[in-house]
Each structure stands twice: as structure tokens, then as C-alpha cells.
């Protein structure tokens, strides 16, 4: 092929720069397809550790592998610690028509719910980062739902209609080779603590192949929280000029949440420009941990409003203790114990 | 940073190198693949990612001096593979180029013998052939580049294909 590379190397053609999001998706897809880099020494140490743990009867947790896209590549061991402190091992496997699905584990802290699932035994695949869930759903288990429905006097046959609302998004987080990949599932439904749920997978489109299944996993995600909370009373001014107060900053490994409140103006409206978390600073310096943020504001009664700002797009897990400041609009809010 | 430095960087800092390679070559990949799969944004993004992965896989074999050629050729081949797959699933129409060119493009494997035949062509026929079958430019675009009419380019391409089908074993 080298002759061809020489032949076409100098041919100029018109190109257009992809937009920022497209460029980011390309880089992320390419990076996800690369094998994780481990030195021989690390492999030997891992093998030795597995042998040691097996000999001691201890199960090795691999949350950093299951939720690899969240792992901080600079410090995978710390990420493993954080992820395992939020995670629950589910370890359920089913095989249908030669395709094996393994539900590895869940991350669930009451605000974020993620599942790691691997698919093996695919045929005639092609590389594709997007997955169509098909007729799949995630919802409360029938037994759990009917118990509540009977108490509330609701017709139990509604269950079969309601499960259709149990949607989730799913992405390939890692492709091992052409017949095996790891999926990251983010359900829309946020279970209550101790609620039994069912993940039903049917007609899933993975890497160009339809996986008919069905596969049904029943489990109860365990709620675990790791967070750093700062209560405060800091006055700030919105971009549109209205004063408001920051009352609390909560930092979890997956998200930053800031509680704010203020007085409605004379027309009964909250700030025209809702404040926004723009950036964070860690002990190591400025951090581009996430590039998206959200907010909501509602009436707080007695002429006030309350709101919550969020920051974090599940790009990478973060040690809550490492965050030293949060930037809201143009203002850096320094975080100290007692502030 | 030169292509040589970028290929070296792949060994030590692959994610950083992928980002830089993507900035340099993804627009080219999407331009080449976009001619086979117009409007199929997700497919183009996946092909761009696949080309980066191929560079990483072959980083020790690739000659940095012809990395751009590797990118064009790989993008073209991956796009045609994807096109064939999608056409089997009836998801894409036939090439909107003339039928003869489309069939030739699909059938032709980039062999060493074919490369030698193209090198031996008198200018500008070799470049016309490469622009049409590797960069997938239309006869009108090539005509504009060389100051030829679209019909003249089509006629040259037709003659070249006849000659190559005779002389290049399949």
C-alpha cells in the first residue's frame, strides 16, 4: 500500500473544520477504542495482587474497568477507590442465541444512576459508538410496583403500559474487539432507596447488529453517597444585576450542586439571567472537568425564589475533597471548611 | 509539531497525540468519506475515529512522510466498506456519479500493480484518476482544477478505466 500513500500524499482537496462537539466525539470514540495502557510491571503487579486476593478469599472489584470512561487516567487507583465507594457489584449473566450479557455493577447515589453492562458473542458488527435501546426498558419490578399499586387502589394491569416509560440512554464505553463491548446505561428513572428494578433488554442495536434477547435482570441498586458539603451565606450578583445568595455547595464524584435563593423582583420574577457554574478549581489548579451545566429555579414562597445549579456531564469522576473553588458566572467562590 | 513527532507521541501520550492527529486529519477524513456517504454524520464521525485508531495500530509501520496519503487511502477504503454495508441494508442510494465509475470504484482493489500503472500514466491523467477514485472528486470539480470540461474529464476517466481493466489483473 505504500505506493498509494506516496501517490496521494500531496493531493490537495477542500476540507471543512468539524464543529467542537463533532471533534470531541471523534477523539472520544478513537480513545475509547484504544486498549488501556499498562506497563509489564503493572500487569505483573496486578496479576500478583489478584493471586494474593484470591488466596485470601477476597473478590477483586473492577469498577474502574466497568466505568472506564469516568476514570481519571492520571490516577486510576484513586478513581477505583471513588467508584467502588459509590458502586454495587451486580454480577448477573445471561446468554440468549449465543450473545452473552453481563450486568457488572451500578453506581447510584440518589442523583445519578449508571449501569455497566458487557455484550459478548456479537457477529457481523461494525464500529459504532451509538446504541439504539430498541424495545428495552428499565422500571420498577412488577412485584414491587403491584404492592404499591394495590395500596393506592391502582389497576395493576397498567404496569405493562408504564414500563414503556422506563427509557434509558446507552453508549458503548469501550470496544474490546469486534464481538465484545462494554455499555454504559443511564436510566431516566431514578429508583427510590431499596427499590427493586428490572432491566429488560430486547432488540438492542449494538455495533450494527440487532440483539433480540430478551434479557431480564432484576436487582436492587444500593444507594451510596460520597460528598463534600459546604454550607454558606455568600451574596452574589447575577449577570442581569439581581442580588442572590449561595447557601450550599455539594460536591460529589459525579456532580457539583449549588443551592441559591433570592427575592423576587417587583414583577414577581426571578433573575432574568440564571446564574451558571462555569468552572471549578482543584488543588492541582484549574480543571476542565466538565463542559456542561444546568440550573432550575422555582418559587420559594413569601416573595422569594430558590434554585439549584448543577455542573458535571459524567466526563470524569472527581475527588470531592480536591475541589477548592467553584466559579459562578464571573465569580470564584473559594471553598473552605465552615464556608 | 511534525507528523514524525506526532507518531512518536502516540507511544508515550496516545490521547494527546490522538487529539492533535484528529485536529490535523479529521477534516480531511470527513471530506473524503463525505463524498461516499454524504449527509451521514454519525458514519463520518465513526470513520474519522477509525482512521485515528488505524494510525495508532500502525504507528510503527507508517512512514511519517506519507501519513497524509495513509489517511486519505484509509478513509476512502473505510468509507467504501461502510457504503457497501449500508447498501446491503438499503440505507444508502447508489453513487450519484455515473454508474461505470461507481462500479469501478467499488470493484477496484488498491493493488501495487494498479499503483504502478497510475504512476506510468502521462500527466495529468494520473492525478485525474487519483482525484476521482481516491479523493472521490466529481468530473466537474476535476475539470475546474485542470481547466478541462467535465465531458473531457469523463472521457479521460473512461479511457483510463478501459486501459486499467485490460492491464491490471483482478
User: What integer best gives the mean pLDDT of chain A?
Assistant: 80
Do A168 and A133 touch, CB atoms closer than 8 A?
A: yes
Highest mean pLDDT among A96-100, A156-160, A287-291, B25-29: B25-29
Task: State residue A2's pLDDT score.
Answer: 72
Task: Tell me the per-residue pLDDT of B14-59, one tens digit each, with 9 for 90 and over.
Answer: 777 888 899 999 999 999 898 888 888 888 988 999 999 899 888 8
- The chain A residue lying nearest B109, using CA atoms, is A1
- Say yes or no to pLDDT of B132 above 70: yes
Task: Tell me whether B48 touches chain A (CB under 8 Å).
Answer: yes
Chain A contacts of B12, Cβ < 8 Å?
none
Task: State residue B107's pLDDT score.
Answer: 52
User: What integer best gives the mean pLDDT of chain B?
Assistant: 81
Higher pLDDT, A153 or A217: A217
- Say yes or no to pLDDT of A247 above 90: yes
C-alpha cell at A173: 464505553
Higher pLDDT, A3 or A53: A3
In 3-state terms, what secondary structure has residue B131? helix
Q: What value does the mean pLDDT take over residues A306-316?
A: 77
Task: Tell me whether B86 touches chain A (CB under 8 Å).
Answer: no
Who contacts A81 (Cβ-Cβ below 8 Å, separation ≥6)?
none
Task: State residue A124's pLDDT score.
Answer: 65
Q: Testing the interface with B: which of A20, A25, A26, A130 to mutate, by most B Cβ within 10 A?
A: A26
Task: Please give the Cα distance from B139 to B122 (Å, whole number).
Answer: 18
Task: Tell me the per-residue pLDDT of A111-142, one tens digit each, with 9 for 90 and over.
Answer: 888 999 999 888 766 666 668 888 899 988 88
C-alpha cell at A1: 500500500
Distance of CA A272 to the CA centre of its chain: 30
Do A160 and A166 touch, CB atoms closer than 8 A?
A: no
Task: Tell me whether B99 touches chain A (CB under 8 Å).
Answer: no
Q: Output DSSP code: residue A164.
A: G
Task: State residue A35's pLDDT score.
Answer: 62
Task: State residue A333's pLDDT score.
Answer: 92
Chain A contacts of B15, Cβ < 8 Å?
27, 31, 73
Chain B contacts of A7, Cβ < 8 Å?
69, 115, 118-119, 126, 130, 134
Task: Please give the Cα distance from A54 to B63 (Å, whole number).
Answer: 46
Task: State residue A291's pLDDT score.
Answer: 45
ipTM exceeds 0.95, yes or no: no
DSSP for A229-294, please give it: EEEEEEEEE-TTS-EEEEEEEEE-SS-EEEEEEEE--TTS---SS---EEEEEETTEEE---S-EE
Amino acid at each position: 500500500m505504500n505506493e498509494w500513500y506516496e501517490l496521494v500524499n500531496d493531493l490537495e482537496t477542500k476540507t471543512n473544520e468539524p464543529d467542537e462537539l463533532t471533534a470531541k466525539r471523534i477523539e472520544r470514540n478513537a480513545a475509547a477504542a484504544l486498549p488501556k495502557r499498562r506497563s509489564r510491571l503493572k500487569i505483573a503487579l496486578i496479576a500478583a495482587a489478584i493471586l494474593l486476593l484470591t488466596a485470601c478469599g477476597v473478590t477483586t472489584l473492577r469498577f474502574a474497568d466497568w466505568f472506564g470512561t469516568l476514570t481519571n487516567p492520571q490516577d486510576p487507583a484513586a478513581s477505583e477507590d471513588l467508584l467502588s465507594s459509590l458502586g454495587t457489584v451486580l454480577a448477573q449473566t445471561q446468554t440468549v442465541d449465543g450473545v452473552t450479557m453481563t450486568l457488572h455493577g451500578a453506581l447510584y447515589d440518589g442523583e445519578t444512576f449508571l449501569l455497566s453492562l458487557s455484550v459478548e458473542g456479537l457477529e457481523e458488527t461494525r464500529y459504532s459508538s451509538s446504541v439504539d435501546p430498541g424495545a428495552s426498558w428499565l422500571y420498577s419490578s412488577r412485584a414491587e410496583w403491584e404492592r404499591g399499586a394495590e395500596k393506592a387502589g391502582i389497576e395493576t394491569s397498567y404496569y405493562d403500559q408504564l414500563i414503556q416509560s422506563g427509557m434509558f440512554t446507552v453508549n458503548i464505553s469501550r470496544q474490546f474487539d469486534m464481538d465484545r463491548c462494554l455499555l454504559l446505561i443511564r436510566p431516566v428513572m431514578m429508583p427510590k432507596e431499596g427499590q427493586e428494578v428490572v432491566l429488560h433488554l430486547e432488540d438492542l442495536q449494538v455495533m450494527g447488529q440487532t440483539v433480540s434477547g430478551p434479557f431480564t435482570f432484576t436487582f436492587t441498586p444500593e444507594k451510596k453517597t460520597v460528598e463534600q458539603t459546604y454550607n454558606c451565606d455568600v451574596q452574589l450578583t447575577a449577570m442581569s444585576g439581581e442580588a442572590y445568595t449561595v447557601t450550599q455547595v455539594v460536591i460529589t464524584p459525579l456532580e457539583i450542586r449549588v443551592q441559591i435563593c433570592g427575592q423576587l423582583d417587583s414583577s414577581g420574577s426571578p433573575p432574568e439571567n440564571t446564574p451558571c457554574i462555569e468552572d471549578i478549581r482543584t488543588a492541582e489548579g484549574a480543571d476542565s472537568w466538565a463542559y456542561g451545566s444546568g440550573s432550575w429555579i422555582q418559587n420559594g414562597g413569601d416573595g422569594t425564589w430558590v434554585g439549584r445549579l448543577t455542573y458535571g456531564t459524567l466526563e470524569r469522576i472527581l475527588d470531592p475533597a480536591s475541589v477548592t473553588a467553584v466559579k459562578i458566572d464571573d465569580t470564584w467562590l473559594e471553598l473552605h471548611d465552615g464556608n | 509539531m511534525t507528523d514524525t513527532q506526532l507518531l512518536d507521541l502516540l507511544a508515550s501520550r496516545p490521547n494527546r497525540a490522538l487529539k492533535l492527529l484528529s485536529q490535523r486529519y479529521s477534516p480531511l477524513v470527513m471530506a473524503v468519506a463525505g463524498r461516499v456517504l454524504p449527509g451521514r454524520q454519525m458514519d463520518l464521525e465513526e470513520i474519522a475515529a477509525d482512521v485515528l485508531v488505524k494510525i495508532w495500530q500502525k504507528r510503527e509501520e507508517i512512514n511519517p512522510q506519507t501519513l497524509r496519503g495513509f489517511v486519505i487511502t484509509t478513509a476512502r477504503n473505510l468509507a467504501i466498506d461502510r457504503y457497501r454495508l449500508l447498501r446491503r441494508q438499503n440505507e444508502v442510494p447508489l453513487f450519484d456519479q455515473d454508474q461505470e465509475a461507481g462500479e469501478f470504484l467499488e470493484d477496484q482493489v488498491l493493488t501495487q500493480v494498479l499503483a504502478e500503472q497510475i504512476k506510468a500514466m502521462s500527466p495529468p491523467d494520473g492525478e485525474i484518476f487519483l482525484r476521482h477514485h481516491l479523493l472521490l472528486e466529481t468530473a466537474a470539480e476535476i475539470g475546474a482544477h485542470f481547466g478541462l470540461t467535465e465531458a473531457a474529464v469523463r472521457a479521460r476517466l473512461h479511457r483510463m478505466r478501459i486501459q486499467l481493466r485490460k492491464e491490471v489483473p483482478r
